Amino acid sequence: MRASIAGIRCAATLVFAAMAASGAAAQDFFKGKEINLYVGSAPGGPYDAYARLVSRHLGRNIPGNPSIVVQHMPGASGRRLMGFVYNVAPRDGTAIAIAQRALPFDPLMGVESHFDVDKITWLGSANNETNVCMAWHSSPIRTIEDLRTRDMVVGSSGPSSTDTIYPNLMNYLFGLRFKVVGGYKAATETHIAMERGEVDGRCGISWDTLQALNADWLREGKIRILIQIGIDRVADLPNVPSVFDLARAEEERQILALWAAPNKMGRPFFAPPGMAAERAELLRRAFEATMRDPELRADAAKMNSRRQRDSRRGGRGADQAGLRDSERDRRKGRAREQGEVGRLRTAPINPYLPHG
């Protein structure tokens, strides 16, 4: 009996020693290092905002407390970044990323890609979301039913963006009349175009982001929410129809469920494939701890309040301060070529991280 107890104690000692050694090794590895957090879209949009928010708190939850540096690699709706992470980025934990949530669904959608999503080291997601379509208050579009007889011009970054996919899907299934204007590099550009009158609105922004992005738009009636797109309905929008309400057959509901499913991934964070299992698990635990971190929650709430105050004063968000007159003229010329012109105003972005 004494021998058995002694054996158990010995085994426990070895386990704790191994755990301590593993923690020490991780701390030794990350101490003094930088982790690059890559963003698959341009500065100023929601993915950039989430990345910057997480970057300020993630290092505190990783042994060795490495610094987190945000880098941008926009292109092909996140696929350029995914290709870099999959094929080029270091696999030791010093490169992580956030990119568009639709990427893991590429194989289901028949999209040609140069990566295997099953091999990516997924770290976690900051939230899950329901998207909405919105029309600017000066647009003649008042309800989703108006699109059966009227055109609605919406802005998008490109053909792989949900801002393009959702309108085209509803056009195909329900005969609606969305007209997509592509080429806006980031969400902020689309919002500028909407305020200028270049486009009627946008169809693909998350409700959580919109609430914090421009609470004054909602409060002052500057936008109309036409429809919500997601597996989950938004309790705040009891009178706004779900895209599933438009479905007339089970096949249509299944198609909608497939395209709405990426919203459950919210803002996904990931790392390269082939990472050592213990290093991947360490980063996952650190990410989970960061999501629960009271300091991150407080930071998100504070930033949300500040952006809303800036918006009410008519000020510009810091992420838009770098927009040049020449870039505005270029966008204005492009929009005119597509038949849409209007006024220029700015819309500060929101780095809000929803609870839950």
Please give the chain's pLDDT, 356 residues, in tens: 544 555 444 544 444 444 444 445 666 899 999 999 999 988 887 889 899 999 999 999 999 999 999 999 998 888 899 999 999 999 999 999 998 888 888 877 777 777 888 899 999 998 888 999 999 999 999 999 999 999 999 999 887 788 999 999 999 999 999 999 998 888 889 999 999 999 999 999 999 888 877 788 999 999 999 999 999 999 999 999 999 999 999 999 999 999 998 888 888 999 999 999 999 999 999 999 999 999 999 998 887 655 554 444 443 333 333 333 333 333 434 333 333 322 222 222 233 333 33
CATH superfamily of 131-263+320-337: Periplasmic binding protein-like II (3.40.190.10)
Res 112: pLDDT? 76
3 state SS of 223: strand
Res 26: pLDDT? 62
Q: Are 70 and 51 contacting, i.e. CB atoms less than 8 angstroms apart?
A: yes
For the chain, what is the radius of gyration of the CA atoms?
23
> Domain map of the chain by residue range?
31-127+266-301, 131-263+320-337
Helices (H) and strands (E) in the chain, counts: 12, 10
Res 304: pLDDT? 67
**Letter string b/e over residues 42-69, b meaning 16 or more CB atoms within 10 A of that residue's CB:** bbbbbbbbbbbbbbbbbbebbbbebebe
Res 350: pLDDT? 32
Res 187: pLDDT? 83
Question: What's the rounded Cα separation, in Å, for the pair 96 and 148?
Answer: 44
Res 221: pLDDT? 96
Fold matches, 31-127+266-301 and 131-263+320-337: yes
Model confidence pTM above 0.85? no
Res 51: pLDDT? 95
CATH superfamily of 31-127+266-301: Bordetella uptake gene, domain 1 (3.40.190.150)
